[in-house]
Structure 1
Amino acid sequence: MQDLAAGVSALLMGFVLFVYLWVVKNSGSTADAKAVNQASYRWRARTFWAALTLAPVLTAATLLPWPHDVSAQEGHVVQVHATAKQWFWELSTQQAKVGDTVVFHVRAADVNHGFALYDENQRLVAQIQAMPGVVNSVRHHFTKPGTYKILCLEYCGVAHHGMVADFTVAAAQ
């Protein structure tokens, strides 16, 4: 679905660019355009080409490193199946090692829950929605040892506040 959205966005951006260039090319031929100061046209053209040149660079700089891409150099991959139930987390394993990439496959057994992974400083490092009948996956590459907390971010009932699980990351040996 994301590939389709990216493709449609690229086509629409290309179409807008084509229309813009067509208007710029044909704008100098009308009587109204000749009356306008040519310096403003040069300034607009320079601004357009500068923006067109900088846009891919700025886009790439703000997207890298792409948070959803896990390269082969990230070490061992651990698969964790996490099931949210009122009001606890059921995890297939609760430990990994520094250098591991953990793929959390998250689902809910009853109602919607929010899967949130917090480090020891209570900073959110990964999150995803847990829904009945759907398995969502989120990856995180662990670079620091410690005990990480898994909390529910979606109010799921009376004991929502107690829906906590620990995930331990041991130092690499």
Structure 2
Amino acid sequence: MAAPLPAAAVLAIRQESLYHEARVLILISEFTAPGAPFRGLTKLAKVDFLLRYPVMAERLLPGGTTWQDSAPTADERQAVESRMIRYKYGPWDDRYYPLLGALVGKRLATFARVGGSMEITLTEAGRDLSIALGETSSWAIVAERARFLREHFDLPGQELKDLIYEQLPDVVALPLRSEI
């Protein structure tokens, strides 16, 4: 039997999970109207990749388009936000299922399968929390970038995947299961 994790390690894991839940909540909120579902796990993974790695998103923007007030900082240009793994279909984070489950379990979202696609709809409480988070100094840049991404990358998941494959060959060329 493995030894239990120290309390500090458990707290760190929980804080990281809450961070990812908040980011995904804001992203879904910015990409949908109240009561409307966010469609597709592939789309979620791709727009989240662009949100987490704004320098990569910048490389996909059409000529002359800029981030406006939410451009990546000098530190962000040098840092990696968070681990993502190169899977068969591009950048992916294996935490999406537990993150979405946590949002549903906290009654911040509902989940449905329509055909072969996932739909997640924020509840009123989820949308209210997303708006409140986006108004804080800690999350305002995330909300602004999510709005910007919706303006420029509100495409079906397959089109986003194709765009990433075509214009970010260095990411796609990484060996499967390597960290991005």
Place the TM-score, normalised by the shorter chain, in its bin: under 0.3
Higher helix residue share: 2
Q: TM-score under structure 1 normalisation?
A: 0.28
Bigger relative contact order, structure 1 or 2 (CA pairs below 8 A, ≥6 apart)? 2
Q: TM-score under structure 2 normalisation?
A: 0.27
Higher strand residue share: 1
